[in-house]
Amino acid sequence: MSVLTCPHFRDEAAAFEHVEGMLWPYGPVCHHCGSMEKPYKLVGVRSKPSKKNPNGIERYGLYKCRDCKGQFTVRMGTVLEESHLPLTIWLQAIHLMCSSKKGISAHQLHRTLEIGYKAAWFLAHRIREAMRSDDFTPMGGAGKFVEVDETYIGRLKGVPKAPSGAHKNVVLTLVERGGVARSFHIDSATVARVLPIVNANIHKESVLMSDEARVYQNFGPDFAAHGTVEHGAGEYVRGKVHTNTVEGFYSIFKRGMKGVYQHCAEHHLHRYLAEFDFRYSNRSAIGVEDNVRSLIALKGAAGKRLTYHGPR
Ligand SMILES: [Zn+2]
C-alpha cells in the first residue's frame, strides 16, 4: 500500500491532527501569547466568500485562546503558514521530497500534486528551508573520521569560462563517516574561506581526511590526525585514508542537480545544499526511513519562515 493513502495525505482534518501531534506534543499553544490554557476549538468556520469559492472554504484546525482571545492554527509562525495550499498538499510534497534520493523538481511537484507551477516552486523552497539544519555542534569527535572536500557546480552569471573553474560555484562539504553531512556555498576554495568553516564545524579530536589540495595542507596540527590521499598520483584509498564518503555524497548531489534541478540560480544554491545535506544526514543507511525523515522535516518547519520574490 502506498504511504500516500494515509488519511493525513487525503483528508484536511486528519492532516491538521497529524501536524498538531508533531508540533504541539503537549497540546495547542497560542501563537499570539504562548498560552497553553486549553483553547476552544472552532469548528465549521468558513473563510470569506470569494469569486472562486462563493461559500468560502472551511477552516480546519482553528483555535481560540482563552487568555488573549486570539485565533490561531498550528500553521502560524511556521513555513507552513505562507501559502493557502491545503495542508494535505504540504504533507504530500514533504513526503515526496524526503523520499526521493535525488530530489524532485518543481515541475514534477506541479504535475503530481496538480497545483500551479509557481505554487509548487514556492512550496519546494519552503520545504528546503524546513530541512535546513540548525545544528552547529562540531562534527566527529575522538575516534571519528570527518572527510572534507570541495566541488564545482553550475556557472556564475557573467563570469567567463576559465580552466581554473573560477566561473563555477564552489561547494565545500564536510561528512562524518557514519554520520551527517554539512555543505557550504563559498566564493573560493582558499584557506581564508575554508579554514574557519573546518575549525568551527569539526571536533578537534576527530581525524580529518582530505585530498592533497594545497588548501588543506596546514590543517593537520588542529586535529587528532590528518590523512591526505594523493589523487594526483592516482591514489584513492590507503586503508582508512580516503575521501570516498564525501565523494559519494557529491555523486548523489551532482546527479540530482543535473537531472532534476537544471536551472538552479546561484542565490538559491545553499537551499539545495540544505536539501541534499538533510536527506544524507537522515538516510536509511543510518536507520532513518522515509516516513521518519518526513516527520523530521515537518518538525523543522516550526519556527522557520521566509519570504520570496518568486522564481528567477
Ligand atoms: Zn493567546
Residues with CB under 5 Å of ion ligand 1 are: 30, 32-33, 35, 65, 67-68, 70
pLDDT band, very low/low/confident/very high, at 47 (cuts 50, 70, 90): confident
Q: Which residues of 32-67 are buried (b: 16+ CB within 10 A; e: fewer)?
A: eeebeeebeeeeeeeeeeeeeeeeebeebbbbebee
Sheet holding 40-42, edge to edge: 40-42, 62-64, 71-72
pLDDT tens profile 246-277? 999 999 999 998 877 776 777 889 999 999 99
pLDDT band, very low/low/confident/very high, at 300 (cuts 50, 70, 90): confident
Distance between CA atoms of 94 and 243, rounded to whole angstroms? 31
Widest distance between CA atoms in the chain: 72
User: Cα(56) to centroid of ligand 1, in Å?
Assistant: 25
Q: Which residue has the higher pLDDT, 238 or 312?
A: 238
User: Cα(76) to centroid of ligand 1, in Å?
Assistant: 13
pLDDT at 304: 62
User: Cα(31) to centroid of ligand 1, in Å?
Assistant: 7
User: Cα(300) to centroid of ligand 1, in Å?
Assistant: 23
Q: Which residues contact 300 (CB under 8 A, 6 or more apart)?
A: 130, 131, 132, 133, 134
User: Cα(301) to centroid of ligand 1, in Å?
Assistant: 21
User: Cα(184) to centroid of ligand 1, in Å?
Assistant: 39
pLDDT at 263: 67
Question: How far is Cα of residue 73 from the mean position of the Cα atoms in its chain?
Answer: 24
Q: Write the CATH number of the domain with boundaries 145-281.
A: 3.30.420.10
Domain map of the chain by residue range? 78-131+285-312, 145-281
In Å, how far are 29, 48, 71 from 45, measured between CA atoms? 20, 10, 11
Contacts 24+ apart (CB under 8 A), 45-54: none
pLDDT tens profile 90-142? 999 999 999 988 899 999 999 999 999 999 999 999 999 999 988 889 999 99
